[in-house]
Amino acid sequence: MASLWYCVAVLGLVAGVSVNADMKLDCKGGFVTLVWTDGRSQMDTSLLRLGSCFPTSLTDREAVFTVDFNDCNFRRLVTGKRLIYSNDLTYITPPNSVIPSYIDLIVCEYERPRDWYPLVYEPVFSTYGLEELVFHIGLMNADFSGPAESTRFPLGSIIAIMASVEQQTHQPLLLLIDECVAATTPELQPESALYPLITNKGCLVDSKKSRSKFEPRQKTSEIRLSLQAFKFAVGGEVFIHCSLVAWDPNSLGNTKKACHYIKDYGWELIDDPTHSSLCDCCESSCKARKTRDLVAGKHGAVQNVVLGPLTITD
């Protein structure tokens, strides 16, 4: 994990309420310990929450949280040199309480390692004979040799994205991107502005009107995508929502593929150009031709991920 720059607890919205409390924050590599001690006998420490998490241990005067950054709905912000995790410590009081509800901001800030990219999926299931799968996705520099130095991309420049899946056994898997859309919100909502990138079960539709493309594979468990920065939410926050698929490499089909469009050639299947006919449906609707394609649990695993925020500039 990163070496620690500093960790702080920024007391938040109602400073006068928490003045009698003592809060100790210890930011570790991958997790945080927060100890809240209050001298007021009327305070119910069981009503404290760190994000979505209950206290790890409790007494009448003290609440202790020891939690992982992947839990409790921690927010993560990645900049060129910093990795910042934040969350809200809340105290929600019952009706008629003499102590008002309040919220404190908790922040842990680290130096960003050069070889770090975000873990976006916790291993929680077994599939295709594997005990666990761990998915990664991150912004990379232009030659994919390390993480991007910035999350700001001038219009027309290349946004390099790499996704991978860690395999815990010898059984090989092929990583694909089923769908991908840019949005103005970290969660897809009816009011979210959208920009389609990959649709129709692995068709990089943005490549028909730009220099966007899949890069040649270095390994089956990894996929690299070069997106030309598109005119969407310019100057604002952009989040890229994707559906990653870890699949049997011997079971490519109309619905399990990675295709991009090459000018004056047409659609190309990046894993085997001689079978680029699998990409023909990118111009219509890609539907499963085999029953086994419909049962993802038997041949692979699907995980939705979010990358961002990033900013596209003029």
Which pLDDT band holds residue 310 (cuts at 50, 70, 90)?
very high
Reported as a single tens digit per residue, the pLDDT across 1-38 is 333 334 444 444 333 334 456 788 888 877 889 998 87
Domains and CATH numbers, the chain: 4-111 (2.60.40.3210), 133-313 (2.60.40.4100)
Q: Which residue has the tokens 């009448």?
A: 60
225-248 mean pLDDT: 92
CB atoms < 10 A from the CB of 314, how many? 8
Q: What is the DSSP code (8-state) at residue 234?
A: T
| CB contact set of 113 (below 8 Å; sequence gap of 6+) | 1, 2
More confident: 149 or 200: 200
- Residue located via tokens 């990219």: 117
- Candidates 87, 38, 40, 98; CA nearest to 63 is 38
Q: How many CB atoms lie within 10 A of CB 198?
A: 27
Average pLDDT, the chain: 79
The pTM score is: 0.59
Distance CA 229, CA 105 (A): 34
Q: Note the pLDDT tens digit of each residue in 27-77.
A: 887 788 999 887 665 677 888 888 888 888 888 788 899 988 878 878 777
pLDDT of residue 274: 92
Q: Look at residue 39 in the predicted model and tell me its pLDDT.
A: 64
Q: Quote the pLDDT of residue 69.
A: 84
pLDDT digits (tens, 9 = 90+) for 95-119: 666 777 777 888 888 876 665 555 4
Q: In the prediction, which pLDDT does 298 show?
A: 42
Q: What is the pLDDT of residue 25?
A: 87
pLDDT of residue 95: 64
| Residue 154 or residue 92, greater confidence | 154
Instruction: For residue 180, give every residue at least 6 positions away whose Cβ sits within 8 Å of its Cβ, in sequence order, or none.
Output: 196, 197, 198, 225, 240, 241, 242, 243
Highest averaged pLDDT of the listed ranges 186-200, 263-277, 290-304: 263-277
β-strands 152-154, 300-313 pairing: parallel
Q: Are 307 and 243 in contact (CB under 8 A)?
A: no
Cis previous bond, 309, omega within 30: yes
Give pLDDT, residue 86. Answer: 84
Q: How far apart are CA 118 and CA 136, in angstroms?
A: 6
The pLDDT value recorded for residue 284 is 92
Q: What single string gives the DSSP state of each residue in 251-276?
A: --BTTB--EEEETTTEEEETT-GGGG
User: pLDDT confidence of 172, banded at 50, 70, 90?
Assistant: confident
CA–CA separation, 312 vs 230, rounded Å? Answer: 8
Residue 225 has pLDDT above 90, yes or no: yes
Euclidean distance between CA atoms 192 and 205, whole angstroms: 20
Half-sphere exposure of 232 (CA within 13 A, CB side): 21
